[in-house]
Structure 1
Amino acid sequence: MRVLSLSLGVVAAIVQVVTASPARLDDAPLVTTAGDAAAIKGWYMQSTAKTSSDMLAVSQPGFDMSSWYRVGSRGTVMAGLLENNVYNDKSLFFSENLKTMVDRSQFDVPWLYREELTFDPATNQRYFLETHGISSKADLYLNGKQLASKETLTGAYGGEKFDLTQYLVKGKNAVLIRAYPTNYLKDFALGYVDWNPYPPDNGTGVWREVFVSQTGPVSLLKPRVVTDYKGKAVSSVTATIKVVVKNSGTKSVQGTIKGSIEDPCGSKLPISASYTLKANEIKTVTLTAKINNPQIWWPKAWGAQPLYSLDLAAYIGSEVSDRAAQRTFGVRYVTSSLNSHQDRAFAVNGNPFLVTGAGYSADVFLRFDPAKLVQQFEYILDMGQNTVRLEGKQEHPELYDIADRMGIMVLAGWECCDKWEGWSYNDEADGVKWVDADYVTAEKQMEHEAYMMQGHASLLGFLVGSDFWPDERASPIYVNKLNELDWDVPIIASASLRGFPKNLGSSGMKMDGPYDWVPPNYWYNNQYGAAFGFGSELGSGVGTPELSSLKKFLTASDMKDLWTAPNKGLYHMSTIDSSFYNRKLYNDALYARYGAPTSLDDYLLKAQAMDYEGTRSQFEGYSALQSASRPATGIIYWMLNNAWPSLHWNLFDYYLKPAGSYFGAKVGGRAEHVAFGYGSAKGDVWLINHTIDKKGSRTIKVDLLSKDGKTLVSRSVDATTTPNQSKNVATIPEATTLKDAAFLRLVLSDAKGKVLSRNVYWISPKVDKLDWKHSDWYYTPVTEYASYKSLATIKPAQLTASSGKGVVVDGKVNVDVTLVNKAAVAAYFVRLELRDSKGEDILPVLWSDNYVTLWPGEKVVLSVSWAAGGSGQGKVDISGINVQGVEAVVVKW
């Protein structure tokens, strides 16, 4: 799979660091000087069932590990077994193999992670080991001594720092971690609820890196930065820097903290402060700095992403005692409040911020690939979205670094269900109820995650609950820890309106569904998940992969079931006890609206059309109604991506192939856009503006075309657009009185004639009729369906296609593909797929548009870009609902 080189260039250093080989290259010490810190490069991993039960012996230097697995610096047990080719994810993901190929009983016992590190302990130096995430509880040993037990080293997001100094010897030192089996109902882990099958090991293991460090008597902990920027143009801002200073020595000490703030242009602003510490004393030191002419950080669509960096070191006299890891921060201002309707609304740098985004999933085996993350984030921006929600999948620090640099907001928070929401008041969750020790674990986890995220410009907020809110004991613990670490973005009770703790009040976020298929006109209503207020997780359940992806994880029989057994439970949908184990609701609609499929190809193309409708209408609905009397304030589509190959709940598939759901969302997410209001009595036309600076006159060209190619309407509408607002600017009554299904084209142009948005609908004389009274938590029934069945009989289009020579810029190939429809009827839902010389998909890929519908005689030029490489020749395969036999377009670069 190829990498989008432009984005990877932005984060090259991050990717390089986290993709280091786990192999042991030498025995050189990881740390040699005060201020050094480094991640343990890799581990030897083995089951306790296959080694000595005497952990004190196993943790002695020299223990035989010849039969152990060598794994990377971070990874669950399953990730380690995959790394060692015990299993192959292509095989595991194929059909229902994950059910049977892995002996799950091997994870009923603890697993060991062991590494030998070289140290040369020096006088007056301290040595530390710091964990950042072990799922979900563990024992820690060093050189035959136990440093921590599973009673204290617990919680997948917990981080602990251990002073190793008195236990180290010159030469080899053995670190041993015994990770206990994870139980989602009993442990604070990274669960998947009904998103996908559970990993066989339940995510057990050292899933985040473990660091060692060396300091003098004084060490620096938790440096952090906040600024007093409040969203208005200013000539300067004050940065307040706080750092915890600890004296591990037995004598009082005086010294200086010195450092600098480096601006995005490389200029450094020096900062310093003195300190005095008694023996074993810990205190927080505060420094301030005035930043003149600050460069403001913006979400990608609104501006640039300049970042400042903070470097600090503790000195005793002229000697360095410790250096803090560099931290970056942006000058920006994020706020939120409840509007008059008690809906949550956000603002960034003083501008109302309509949240448009989707829910992110970590890999099912918690494998973290920063290169793939960059590609996924590139897709988010390409779809015009601005936010990603993390429901408990907080991943690694690199995620926030990448989001900072790419300008994507992150709405983080704890996950739903399982142990996390085992509150005494909650009878709906299966998790074991919390006891006193759980509140201690929760506090440690909150402290660790708060520090990891603090200061990142991309942070939009933190949800301390998901489906349910933390109880009156946990909520103050969470909030106090966030505030202690100078959290400067909103803290929100949960992602739903079920209830709230006293110290936070209502979340202002609704979680009323849908999660399964609903028709496009659903969003232009005033109930449940329709486009008003803040929808924290909702969607029409779409995300059907294309055939080239399906072949990678389904048998021929599985694929046949898709179109011949519409109600069958499917392993690649959801868990067997879930409401989403089959595609019945989706298929009921597809059969009724588009007609019974005649083949797998026919089913998939109809599915892409329905997926396109589903996501486009959802994002258009929330965008169109951002200025309504009860405005839409935010939408998180459920979901962005999948933990493994899935048949639903995504905007692009596991292999990064974008299809109908992606391009529907992309059209609906354009910065300036024109949309048709599904189900409106008069055929409303909405002018949408997501920018903060674009304004003035606009022209909307309206064309309505019968399936036979007859022009029913052709007129222009003049309108004026206003930044960050939407409005109803016209009606198309003819679209509400049709005798047969037809096509509607809306083209938005600026005052100079530049096309800003081209948008084609297929509309039915009959509107989907929703049965709101019988809505369930995950869908609203439909009693009558719109019908596009007659479009199956549209005459064939005569489409020609050509391409220009590929141009390579910054490591990316850019090609224009020209389509011309020479028929007297529309070319309906034309799909373009880029493949290499061997016929394999080139992924990831960025198309300016896709799944397009062309008017008779219309020419459309589409651009496509991808990472350079390969043979220098590929092709674009072209197909559509009434488009067959088009010769593939050869592309060369």
Structure 2
Amino acid sequence: MHTTLTSLLGLGLSAIAATANAAALVSAPGQAAVIPKWDLESTAKAGSDLTALSQTGVNTASWHHVNESKCTLMGCLIAAGVYNDSQLFYSDNLASVDANQFLVPWLYRQEFTLDPAPGKHYFLQTHGVTSRADIYLNGKQVADKSFQTGAYGGHVYDITSLAAAANALVIRAYPTSYYYDFALGWVDWNPWPADNGTGVWRDVEVKQTGSVALGPLRVVTGLSPQLGKQPANVTLKAKATNLEKTAITVSASGSVVLEAGGEPLVWSKLVTIPPLTTTDIILTNTVQKPSIWWPKQWGDQPLYKANLTVTTADGALSDVAASTFGFRTVTSQVNSFNDTLFTVNGQPFQVLGGGYAPDMFLRWDAKKWETEAQYTLNVGFNTVRLEGKNEHLEFFETADRLGLMVLAGWECCDKWEAWSYNNDLAVATPVWTAADYVTANASMIHEASMLQTHPSVMAYLVGSDYWPDDTAAPMYVNALKAADWQMPVITSASKRSYAPILGPGGMKMDGPYDWVPPNYWYDTEPSADRLGAAFGFGSEQGAGVGTPDLSSLKKFLSQSDLDDLWKNPDKDLFHMSSATSSFHNRKIYNTALWKRWGSPSSLEDYVLKAQITDYEANRAEFEGFAALWNAKRPATGVIYWMLTGAFPSLHWNIWDYYQHPAGGYFGAKVGSRVEHVAYDYVHKSVYLINRSLDKQGARTLDVQVVDTTGKVTYSTTTKLTTTPNTSKSILSLTSALSNIKDVVFIRLVLSDTATSTVISRNVYWVAKAIDTLDWPNSEWYVTPVTKYSDYTALNKLATANVSITASPATTNNKTGPGGVKCSTTGTTTVVTLENLSSVPAFFITLNLVDSAGKDVLPLTWTDNYVTLLPKEKISVSVSALPGAAAPVAVLARGKNIPKATVILS
């Protein structure tokens, strides 16, 4: 051992002295600090003598040095410059990464300083290491791989007896198998990373306390039915552990105050804790005028700070537990159709959202998530679902602040659902052992304690495709109860069966996951064989769209890859799902595109037709669910598959990996408007939709039907009254659409009658016949189409003359090619489009670019991918979000307008 230590301690005593003289990582009771960075190396190179490697002064100069507090092996190596993600994601380069290097454990190592003394206690806190880990500190083992296991296996280790002035921590992370470990797997979402997500993907912390240590703070609220008008109860709870061999009496003090400011509510009591025992400290009080937290589309998001502190008899602070919370209630029930219906603050809440995917390498970027949350709300969604991708504390803090609801839960198709009755597993995964239940229980305890106070959290799904067995289900329930969980607990996201302790889950998972036509969603009867159509609660479903626009495609596809998109429509593609997936090509999607629109004449033609297809598909799905909110069998919610992509993907996203919104984004945005009018493709009727709690009164609906030559074939104006949180059929267009020659455009404009302000404008292209669905031969992922709608007439539209200008009006406008004028003020550009022609201008897309001609991202548009009827004029605006480059031009193109580029002044 002496020889080994001599070789390892290459830095000598000077390095040890430098560490000892550094500022202590934590220096006060109640303080916790994250291990800020890591030295990383494979055990194949560094060896496995953790006793020696966890001594201070080890020479790690040859190791990888990662300035990140948390990262998987691939994420760490990218951060260290070994790999470049732009290169990895280009074409199929990701497949060339040597996966064999990750078949052995890897080491995460860091040194830090503490200031140990009598009465000071130190703890090491983990939040999950994938797949499992041995932990050593200062030459001694803290935990082994049989206990520190699972991606969500968070634990607290008392390291007081091991702490020194200079400390060395080593974590040995073992290789991960998605099928045999409790990990964050990808199933068929995308190609798998070479490391299978192995490593310290969540923060590791060191905490200092006095003689009494507190566990996580739980906050229990009690609201009266008269929200905000009557007092609300608030209870602060935390487990307190006496770390000494004598009884200790502490003063436990609670405080609650609005983050925005105000007079804090402070109260306290004395608590005596027997030696070396743990007790629950409970402090209850009343907030006289509580401010109520609402989802963004329904109100404000006032947050409260809560603190619970314990001080000893001499007045010394021993520990602090803190969190933010909001006053709100969430409930769920299963209606007579066995469909789940949520309520928020007593109001029926129709869930419209998408399935979130983290980065493929589980890299955390708070700014990126902030943008994605803003995009989600800009689209009109109110919820995201996390299928086993519960992310980090910052994720939920952002959702709290922005008013975005979150459906959290475990994932499908791997170890998490390795039940004897699950016949869908890709491998013969063994059923759980006794140790597996211990890991799963620790995971539930940790996630419950992390999520419990967050008002954005709507429910926890303890199963995805399958329900937990009769041992796991009560274990999960008990863990959630112990954490004072106040949100619904749902047995699974499908209706296969359920755990008796939880009852029916009330959610369907019947697809589709690949392309279906827009009439699919409205074809709801008989519901027994209408699968994902707009009724009930669809926990994950979509039309398999999400084609990035051409500027994004060129970032990750080679020329041959781009050629394959339109020249080899049935070919397997790397940037789809995993190679073993049913979704490894675009065959179903492309068959529809070719049949409905004709063979593409070029890559640009293919991409434009794909954007039209994506827009139409997403708009119809979300309009269908919003329109049938009050149907005989209500559409109570839908989670779109998916919201985001884990890497640059050719499908399954609302916006692409580069955060460029394209056709699918804007179709979803139109379909998810808070106030809206929508066309039902099956019944040829118009629905009035109101998803607000406060918008009501007189409305005016203007309807026009125009053929491909610009001739108006039908026009009407209808006076309406709208009611909050309702939808209803208001007008039949059956006779107006009885004599379609080839294709017509339907424009629906909803206005506030009193002010004439346009609330919603929507244009549809409708063929002579809708697509014919073959419901009896549906697969779990798609319903076949036996006859396709014919939109080829739109390939022959006469060229439209469209004036596109931008203002503010007081600034100088500059005319560029194509007669387009625009200007900007700050980061916002207002673009006005006017169709000067007698023919419709179909599917005009606008893109903001910088001085290098690259997309200005991130940004939000009020509308885009728009169609103008003859002589019609509209305005849209675009705002560059923080971090975006300065815009210098607007690019415009469309199905029947010339391309135009305008330099902004």
TM-score bracket, normalised by the shorter chain, equals over 0.9
- The residue number in structure 2 matching 1:822 is 836
Residue 531 of structure 2, aligned match among 528, 532, 536: 528
Q: Shift of the alpha carbon at 1:805?
A: 4.2
CA distance in structure 2 between the partners assigned to 1:598 and 1:189 by the alignment? 45
- The residue number in structure 2 matching 1:890 is 903
CA contact (8 A) 1:651 1:662 kept: yes
- Give the match's secondary structure for 1:626: coil
- The residue number in structure 1 matching 2:663 is 660
CA distance in structure 2 between the partners assigned to 1:536 and 1:365 by the alignment? 25
Q: Shift of the alpha carbon at 1:25?
A: 13
- Give the match's secondary structure for 2:765: strand
Q: Shift of the alpha carbon at 1:168?
A: 1.9
Question: Amino acid of the residue matched to residue 330 of structure 2?
Answer: V
- Please list the CA deviations of residues 771-798 of structure 1 after superposition, one character each: whole Å capped at 9, or x if unmatched: 0000000000001111110110010000
- The residue number in structure 2 matching 1:70 is 65
Q: Shift of the alpha carbon at 1:698?
A: 1.0
Residues 179 and 105 of structure 1: is their aligned pair in 2 closer, same or farther, counting only changes over 3 Å? same
CA contact (8 A) 1:543 1:648 kept: yes
Residue 865 of structure 1, aligned match among 856, 876, 879: 879
CA contact (8 A) 2:249 2:272 kept: yes
CA distance in structure 1 between the partners assigned to 2:672 and 2:885 by the alignment? 34
- Please list the CA deviations of residues 641-678 of structure 1 after superposition, one character each: whole Å capped at 9, or x if unmatched: 00000000000000000000000000001110000101
- Which piece of structure 1 moves more, 565-574 or 859-868? 859-868
CA contact (8 A) 2:33 2:207 kept: yes
Residues 467 and 812 of structure 1: is their aligned pair in 2 closer, same or farther, counting only changes over 3 Å? farther
Q: Shift of the alpha carbon at 1:325?
A: 4.1
CA distance in structure 2 between the partners assigned to 1:525 and 1:153 by the alignment? 50
CA contact (8 A) 2:857 2:884 kept: no
Alignment of 1:575-586 (within 5 A): 575-586=578-589
CA distance in structure 2 between the partners assigned to 1:783 and 1:330 by the alignment? 51
Residues 656 and 434 of structure 1: is their aligned pair in 2 closer, same or farther, counting only changes over 3 Å? same
Gaps of 5+ in 2: 1-17, 525-529, 812-823
Question: Amino acid of the residue matched to residue 136 of structure 1?
Answer: S
Residue 740 of structure 1, aligned match among 739, 742, 746: 742
- Give the match's secondary structure for 1:501: coil
CA distance in structure 2 between the partners assigned to 1:88 and 1:872 by the alignment? 26
Q: Shift of the alpha carbon at 1:259?
A: 3.1
- The residue number in structure 2 matching 1:473 is 471
Residues 678 and 158 of structure 1: is their aligned pair in 2 closer, same or farther, counting only changes over 3 Å? same
CA distance in structure 1 between the partners assigned to 2:162 and 2:118 by the alignment? 14
- The residue number in structure 1 matching 2:804 is 801
Alignment of 1:762-801 (within 5 A): 762-801=765-804
- The residue number in structure 2 matching 1:758 is 761
CA distance in structure 2 between the partners assigned to 1:232 and 1:520 by the alignment? 41
CA distance in structure 1 between the partners assigned to 2:292 and 2:682 by the alignment? 42
Question: Amino acid of the residue matched to residue 373 of structure 1?
Answer: W
CA contact (8 A) 2:24 2:113 kept: yes
Q: Shift of the alpha carbon at 1:322?
A: 2.8
- The residue number in structure 2 matching 1:696 is 697
CA distance in structure 1 between the partners assigned to 2:886 and 2:675 by the alignment? 35
Count of residues in Structure 1 that have an aligned counterpart in Structure 2? 864
- The residue number in structure 2 matching 1:177 is 171
CA distance in structure 1 between the partners assigned to 2:21 and 2:621 by the alignment? 55
| 1:855 corresponds to 2:869 | yes
- Which piece of structure 1 moves more, 442-451 or 263-272? 263-272
Q: Shift of the alpha carbon at 1:427?
A: 2.1
Residues 744 and 414 of structure 1: is their aligned pair in 2 closer, same or farther, counting only changes over 3 Å? same
CA contact (8 A) 2:857 2:885 kept: no
CA distance in structure 2 between the partners assigned to 1:320 and 1:451 by the alignment? 27
Residue 82 of structure 1, aligned match among 78, 82, 86: 78
- The residue number in structure 2 matching 1:134 is 129
- Give the match's secondary structure for 1:113: strand
CA distance in structure 2 between the partners assigned to 1:427 and 1:56 by the alignment? 44
Q: Shift of the alpha carbon at 1:266?
A: 3.1
- The residue number in structure 2 matching 1:454 is 452
Gaps of 5+ in 1: 1-22
CA contact (8 A) 1:424 1:434 kept: no
CA contact (8 A) 1:334 1:349 kept: yes
- Please list the CA deviations of residues 162-221 of structure 1 after superposition, one character each: whole Å capped at 9, or x if unmatched: 11111122x211111000000111100000000001111000000111111111111111
Residues 25 and 578 of structure 1: is their aligned pair in 2 closer, same or farther, counting only changes over 3 Å? farther
CA distance in structure 1 between the partners assigned to 2:863 and 2:348 by the alignment? 28
CA distance in structure 2 between the partners assigned to 1:463 and 1:335 by the alignment? 14
CA contact (8 A) 1:812 1:866 kept: no
TM-score scaled by structure 2? 0.94
- Which piece of structure 1 moves more, 422-431 or 758-767? 422-431
Alignment of 1:281-292 (within 5 A): 281-292=277-288
CA contact (8 A) 1:806 1:891 kept: no
CA distance in structure 1 between the partners assigned to 2:337 and 2:124 by the alignment? 50
- Please list the CA deviations of residues 365-416 of structure 1 after superposition, one character each: whole Å capped at 9, or x if unmatched: 0001010001001111111110000000000000000000000000000000
- The residue number in structure 1 matching 2:596 is 593
Question: Amino acid of the residue matched to residue 902 of structure 2?
Answer: V
- The residue number in structure 2 matching 1:538 is 541
CA contact (8 A) 1:218 1:321 kept: no
- The residue number in structure 2 matching 1:615 is 618
- Give the match's secondary structure for 2:793: helix
CA contact (8 A) 1:308 1:329 kept: yes
Alignment of 1:160-199 (within 5 A): 160-169=155-164, 171-199=165-193
CA distance in structure 1 between the partners assigned to 2:207 and 2:809 by the alignment? 49
CA distance in structure 2 between the partners assigned to 1:592 and 1:320 by the alignment? 76
CA distance in structure 2 between the partners assigned to 1:172 and 1:49 by the alignment? 27
- Give the match's secondary structure for 1:576: coil
- Please list the CA deviations of residues 94-134 of structure 1 after superposition, one character each: whole Å capped at 9, or x if unmatched: 0000111x111000000001111112211111111110111
- Please list the CA deviations of residues 556-596 of structure 1 after superposition, one character each: whole Å capped at 9, or x if unmatched: 11001000101000000111111100101001100111111
Q: Shift of the alpha carbon at 1:737?
A: 3.1
Question: Amino acid of the residue matched to residue 904 of structure 2?
Answer: V
- Give the match's secondary structure for 1:762: strand
- The residue number in structure 2 matching 1:647 is 650
CA distance in structure 2 between the partners assigned to 1:25 and 1:39 by the alignment? 18
- Give the match's secondary structure for 1:186: coil
- Give the match's secondary structure for 1:692: coil
CA distance in structure 1 between the partners assigned to 2:398 and 2:863 by the alignment? 26
Question: Amino acid of the residue matched to residue 524 of structure 1?
Answer: Y
- The residue number in structure 1 matching 2:486 is 488
CA distance in structure 2 between the partners assigned to 1:811 and 1:439 by the alignment? 58
Sequence identity (%) = 51
Alignment of 1:216-365 (within 5 A): 216-233=210-227, 234-263=229-258, 264-365=260-361
| 1:840 corresponds to 2:849 | no
CA contact (8 A) 1:382 1:666 kept: yes
CA distance in structure 2 between the partners assigned to 1:459 and 1:872 by the alignment? 36
- Give the match's secondary structure for 1:160: strand
CA distance in structure 2 between the partners assigned to 1:596 and 1:177 by the alignment? 56
CA distance in structure 1 between the partners assigned to 2:204 and 2:285 by the alignment? 33
- The residue number in structure 1 matching 2:8 is none
- Please list the CA deviations of residues 421-469 of structure 1 after superposition, one character each: whole Å capped at 9, or x if unmatched: 1012222223332111100100000000000000100011000000000
CA distance in structure 1 between the partners assigned to 2:318 and 2:688 by the alignment? 57
CA contact (8 A) 1:534 1:635 kept: yes
TM-score scaled by structure 1? 0.95
Q: Shift of the alpha carbon at 1:841?
A: 0.2
